[in-house]
Amino acid sequence: MSGNMNLTIKAWRQKNAQARGGFETIKLSNISPDMSFLEMLDVMNEQLIKEGKEAFAFDHDCREGICGMCSLVINGLPHGPDSLVTTCQLHMRKFKDGDTIVIEPWRSAAFPVIRDCAVDRGAFDRIIQAGGFVSINTGNAPPANTLPVPKADADRAFDAAACIGCGACVAACKNASAMLFVSAKVSHLAYLPQGKPEKQKRVLAMVEQMDKEGFGNCTNLFECEAACPKGITVEFIAKMNREYMCATVLYAEKVYSTEA
Ligand code: FES
Protein backbone atom coordinates (compact mmCIF):
# COMPACT_ATOMS: atom_id res chain seq x y z
CA MET A 1 0.00 0.00 0.00
CA SER A 2 1.36 3.46 -0.77
CA GLY A 3 2.45 5.42 2.28
CA ASN A 4 3.75 2.28 3.94
CA MET A 5 7.25 2.49 5.35
CA ASN A 6 10.51 0.61 5.32
CA LEU A 7 12.25 0.88 8.68
CA THR A 8 15.45 -0.16 10.41
CA ILE A 9 14.89 -1.22 14.02
CA LYS A 10 17.77 -1.32 16.47
CA ALA A 11 16.31 -3.34 19.35
CA TRP A 12 18.04 -3.93 22.69
CA ARG A 13 18.51 -7.68 23.27
CA GLN A 14 19.57 -9.03 26.66
CA LYS A 15 19.06 -12.58 27.95
CA ASN A 16 18.71 -11.59 31.63
CA ALA A 17 19.82 -9.03 34.23
CA GLN A 18 23.32 -10.52 34.45
CA ALA A 19 23.96 -10.95 30.71
CA ARG A 20 25.66 -8.30 28.63
CA GLY A 21 23.12 -6.80 26.23
CA GLY A 22 23.48 -5.29 22.79
CA PHE A 23 21.53 -3.93 19.85
CA GLU A 24 20.18 -6.17 17.09
CA THR A 25 19.42 -4.56 13.75
CA ILE A 26 16.20 -5.71 12.09
CA LYS A 27 14.91 -4.47 8.72
CA LEU A 28 11.14 -4.14 8.37
CA SER A 29 9.21 -3.38 5.22
CA ASN A 30 5.66 -2.35 4.38
CA ILE A 31 4.80 -0.96 7.83
CA SER A 32 1.49 0.93 7.81
CA PRO A 33 1.48 4.42 9.39
CA ASP A 34 -1.88 3.46 10.95
CA MET A 35 -0.31 0.73 13.09
CA SER A 36 0.39 1.36 16.74
CA PHE A 37 4.03 1.04 17.80
CA LEU A 38 3.26 -2.25 19.54
CA GLU A 39 1.53 -3.63 16.43
CA MET A 40 4.71 -2.82 14.52
CA LEU A 41 6.63 -4.85 17.14
CA ASP A 42 4.13 -7.71 16.70
CA VAL A 43 4.91 -7.69 12.96
CA MET A 44 8.63 -7.63 13.79
CA ASN A 45 8.23 -10.63 16.10
CA GLU A 46 6.33 -12.62 13.44
CA GLN A 47 9.22 -11.94 11.08
CA LEU A 48 11.82 -12.97 13.70
CA ILE A 49 9.92 -16.19 14.46
CA LYS A 50 9.64 -17.05 10.74
CA GLU A 51 13.41 -16.58 10.48
CA GLY A 52 13.86 -19.05 13.35
CA LYS A 53 15.02 -16.34 15.76
CA GLU A 54 13.80 -15.56 19.27
CA ALA A 55 10.95 -13.07 19.60
CA PHE A 56 11.78 -9.68 21.09
CA ALA A 57 10.47 -9.37 24.69
CA PHE A 58 8.59 -6.20 25.64
CA ASP A 59 5.89 -5.42 28.20
CA HIS A 60 2.29 -4.60 27.35
CA ASP A 61 -1.18 -5.41 28.61
CA CYS A 62 -4.17 -3.12 28.02
CA ARG A 63 -2.81 -1.38 24.88
CA GLU A 64 -5.21 1.44 25.78
CA GLY A 65 -2.92 3.73 27.80
CA ILE A 66 -4.35 2.81 31.19
CA CYS A 67 -2.46 -0.12 32.74
CA GLY A 68 1.09 1.27 32.80
CA MET A 69 2.73 -1.92 31.50
CA CYS A 70 4.24 -0.73 28.21
CA SER A 71 7.71 0.65 28.77
CA LEU A 72 10.10 1.39 25.94
CA VAL A 73 12.66 4.13 25.44
CA ILE A 74 12.23 4.99 21.76
CA ASN A 75 14.93 7.10 20.11
CA GLY A 76 16.05 8.20 23.57
CA LEU A 77 12.59 9.18 24.84
CA PRO A 78 10.49 7.14 27.29
CA HIS A 79 7.25 6.26 25.43
CA GLY A 80 8.67 7.79 22.24
CA PRO A 81 8.41 11.09 20.40
CA ASP A 82 4.74 11.93 21.02
CA SER A 83 3.67 13.84 24.13
CA LEU A 84 1.21 12.64 26.80
CA VAL A 85 0.93 9.14 25.33
CA THR A 86 2.12 5.71 26.35
CA THR A 87 4.05 3.49 23.94
CA CYS A 88 0.86 1.54 23.19
CA GLN A 89 -0.87 4.76 22.11
CA LEU A 90 2.04 5.88 19.91
CA HIS A 91 1.36 5.45 16.19
CA MET A 92 3.72 4.73 13.34
CA ARG A 93 2.57 7.92 11.58
CA LYS A 94 4.99 9.68 13.95
CA PHE A 95 7.83 8.11 11.91
CA LYS A 96 8.74 8.33 8.24
CA ASP A 97 9.89 5.98 5.53
CA GLY A 98 13.58 5.09 5.90
CA ASP A 99 13.77 5.96 9.62
CA THR A 100 16.00 4.10 12.03
CA ILE A 101 14.24 3.49 15.36
CA VAL A 102 16.30 2.69 18.45
CA ILE A 103 14.43 0.76 21.17
CA GLU A 104 15.82 0.39 24.69
CA PRO A 105 14.48 -0.71 28.09
CA TRP A 106 13.77 1.53 31.10
CA ARG A 107 17.34 1.84 32.40
CA SER A 108 17.61 1.89 36.19
CA ALA A 109 19.38 -0.33 38.73
CA ALA A 110 16.03 -0.55 40.55
CA PHE A 111 14.37 -1.97 37.40
CA PRO A 112 16.49 -5.03 36.52
CA VAL A 113 16.11 -6.37 32.97
CA ILE A 114 14.10 -9.59 32.80
CA ARG A 115 14.69 -10.07 29.08
CA ASP A 116 15.34 -7.66 26.19
CA CYS A 117 13.16 -4.61 26.96
CA ALA A 118 10.99 -6.19 29.66
CA VAL A 119 12.08 -4.96 33.09
CA ASP A 120 11.06 -5.85 36.64
CA ARG A 121 9.12 -2.94 38.18
CA GLY A 122 8.39 -4.80 41.43
CA ALA A 123 10.14 -1.93 43.26
CA PHE A 124 7.06 0.22 42.57
CA ASP A 125 4.78 -2.48 44.02
CA ARG A 126 6.90 -2.63 47.17
CA ILE A 127 6.67 1.17 47.57
CA ILE A 128 2.87 0.94 47.35
CA GLN A 129 2.87 -1.99 49.78
CA ALA A 130 4.84 0.18 52.25
CA GLY A 131 1.97 2.66 52.62
CA GLY A 132 0.19 3.62 49.41
CA PHE A 133 -3.25 2.68 50.68
CA VAL A 134 -5.90 3.56 53.29
CA SER A 135 -6.09 0.91 56.03
CA ILE A 136 -8.74 2.47 58.30
CA ASN A 137 -12.13 0.78 58.23
CA THR A 138 -14.41 3.31 56.55
CA GLY A 139 -17.48 1.09 56.36
CA ASN A 140 -19.85 1.32 53.41
CA ALA A 141 -19.49 4.18 50.96
CA PRO A 142 -21.41 7.12 52.46
CA PRO A 143 -23.59 9.40 50.30
CA ALA A 144 -21.20 11.83 48.58
CA ASN A 145 -22.65 14.93 50.21
CA THR A 146 -21.93 13.71 53.75
CA LEU A 147 -18.18 13.96 53.14
CA PRO A 148 -17.61 17.29 51.44
CA VAL A 149 -14.23 17.73 49.72
CA PRO A 150 -13.20 21.19 48.50
CA LYS A 151 -13.29 21.27 44.68
CA ALA A 152 -9.63 22.30 44.42
CA ASP A 153 -8.54 19.35 46.62
CA ALA A 154 -10.73 16.91 44.68
CA ASP A 155 -9.21 18.13 41.40
CA ARG A 156 -5.61 17.86 42.70
CA ALA A 157 -6.28 14.38 44.10
CA PHE A 158 -7.73 13.30 40.78
CA ASP A 159 -4.76 14.74 38.84
CA ALA A 160 -2.35 12.80 41.08
CA ALA A 161 -4.41 9.62 40.83
CA ALA A 162 -3.97 9.71 37.04
CA CYS A 163 -0.47 8.19 37.55
CA ILE A 164 -0.45 4.70 36.00
CA GLY A 165 2.88 3.71 37.58
CA CYS A 166 4.61 2.99 34.28
CA GLY A 167 8.05 4.19 35.42
CA ALA A 168 8.74 6.59 32.53
CA CYS A 169 9.69 9.21 35.16
CA VAL A 170 12.48 6.95 36.41
CA ALA A 171 13.68 6.15 32.89
CA ALA A 172 13.78 9.84 31.96
CA CYS A 173 15.73 11.00 35.02
CA LYS A 174 19.53 10.89 35.02
CA ASN A 175 19.32 10.15 38.77
CA ALA A 176 16.76 7.38 38.15
CA SER A 177 14.59 9.14 40.71
CA ALA A 178 11.13 7.75 41.45
CA MET A 179 9.96 10.91 43.21
CA LEU A 180 7.31 11.82 40.63
CA PHE A 181 5.67 8.40 41.01
CA VAL A 182 5.91 8.34 44.82
CA SER A 183 4.74 11.94 45.14
CA ALA A 184 1.67 11.27 42.98
CA LYS A 185 0.71 8.32 45.17
CA VAL A 186 1.43 10.20 48.43
CA SER A 187 -0.47 13.30 47.24
CA HIS A 188 -3.61 11.70 45.92
CA LEU A 189 -4.34 10.18 49.34
CA ALA A 190 -3.08 13.18 51.37
CA TYR A 191 -5.55 15.52 49.63
CA LEU A 192 -8.60 13.45 50.60
CA PRO A 193 -10.23 13.10 54.04
CA GLN A 194 -10.01 9.29 53.93
CA GLY A 195 -6.23 9.45 53.45
CA LYS A 196 -5.43 12.18 55.98
CA PRO A 197 -5.36 10.12 59.27
CA GLU A 198 -2.41 8.05 58.03
CA LYS A 199 -0.65 10.63 55.91
CA GLN A 200 2.45 11.08 58.11
CA LYS A 201 3.03 7.37 58.56
CA ARG A 202 2.41 6.85 54.83
CA VAL A 203 4.88 9.40 53.49
CA LEU A 204 7.66 8.28 55.85
CA ALA A 205 7.19 4.60 54.95
CA MET A 206 6.93 5.16 51.20
CA VAL A 207 10.00 7.44 51.04
CA GLU A 208 11.98 4.96 53.16
CA GLN A 209 11.07 2.12 50.78
CA MET A 210 11.88 4.28 47.74
CA ASP A 211 15.38 4.88 49.14
CA LYS A 212 15.81 1.17 49.99
CA GLU A 213 14.99 0.21 46.40
CA GLY A 214 17.94 2.28 45.17
CA PHE A 215 16.15 5.09 43.32
CA GLY A 216 18.06 8.37 43.13
CA ASN A 217 17.00 11.74 44.47
CA CYS A 218 15.34 14.61 42.63
CA THR A 219 17.62 17.43 41.50
CA ASN A 220 14.86 19.45 39.79
CA LEU A 221 15.63 18.46 36.20
CA PHE A 222 11.89 18.10 35.37
CA GLU A 223 12.62 15.34 32.82
CA CYS A 224 10.07 13.18 34.67
CA GLU A 225 7.28 15.67 34.06
CA ALA A 226 8.22 15.94 30.36
CA ALA A 227 8.16 12.14 29.94
CA CYS A 228 5.02 11.40 31.96
CA PRO A 229 2.24 10.13 29.67
CA LYS A 230 -0.38 11.30 32.16
CA GLY A 231 0.86 14.86 32.69
CA ILE A 232 1.75 14.41 36.37
CA THR A 233 3.35 17.65 37.48
CA VAL A 234 6.47 18.15 39.62
CA GLU A 235 4.29 20.25 41.95
CA PHE A 236 3.42 16.93 43.57
CA ILE A 237 7.11 16.44 44.43
CA ALA A 238 6.96 19.78 46.28
CA LYS A 239 3.79 18.57 48.06
CA MET A 240 5.49 15.30 49.03
CA ASN A 241 8.52 17.19 50.37
CA ARG A 242 6.21 19.35 52.52
CA GLU A 243 4.34 16.26 53.76
CA TYR A 244 7.65 14.56 54.51
CA MET A 245 9.03 17.53 56.45
CA CYS A 246 5.85 17.89 58.53
CA ALA A 247 5.80 14.14 59.25
CA THR A 248 9.46 14.16 60.29
CA VAL A 249 8.88 17.05 62.73
CA LEU A 250 5.71 15.47 64.16
CA TYR A 251 7.38 12.08 64.66
CA ALA A 252 10.49 13.71 66.20
CA GLU A 253 8.21 15.61 68.60
CA LYS A 254 6.40 12.38 69.52
CA VAL A 255 9.70 10.59 70.25
CA TYR A 256 10.98 13.61 72.21
CA SER A 257 7.81 13.92 74.30
CA THR A 258 7.88 10.15 75.08
CA GLU A 259 11.53 10.37 76.20
CA ALA A 260 10.99 13.53 78.28
S1 FES B 1 -0.14 -1.45 27.50
FE2 FES B 1 -1.37 -0.59 29.10
S3 FES B 1 -0.68 1.47 29.18
FE4 FES B 1 0.36 0.67 27.45
Q: What is the pLDDT of residues 201-242, one digit of tens each?
A: 999 999 999 999 999 999 999 999 999 999 999 999 999 999
Q: Which helix (H) or strand (E) holds 88?
A: none
Q: Whose CA is nearest to atom 3 of ligand 1?
A: 65
pLDDT for 140 equals: 82
Range(s) for CATH 1.10.1060.10 in the chain? 121-259
3-state secondary structure of 70: coil
pLDDT, tens only, 132-164: 999 987 778 888 788 889 999 999 999 999 999
Is the CB of 68 inside a 6 Å radius of any atom of ligand 1?
yes
Is the CB of 70 inside a 6 Å radius of any atom of ligand 1?
yes
CATH number of 121-259, picked from 3.40.50.2000, 1.10.1060.10, 3.40.190.10, 3.30.428.10: 1.10.1060.10
Q: Is the pLDDT of residue 260 over 60?
A: no
Q: How far is the CA of 86 from the centre of ligand 1 (A)?
A: 7
**Confidence band (pLDDT; 50, 70, 90) for 77?**
very high
Is the CB of 38 inside a 6 Å radius of any atom of ligand 1?
no
Phi, psi of 14 (to 5 degrees): -155, 125
Range(s) for CATH 3.10.20.30 in the chain? 5-115
Beta strands 100-104; 5-13: pairing state: parallel
Q: How far is the CA of 54 from the centre of ligand 1 (A)?
A: 23
pLDDT for 142 equals: 80
| Homologous superfamily assigned to 5-115 | Beta-grasp domain (3.10.20.30)
pTM of the model: 0.94
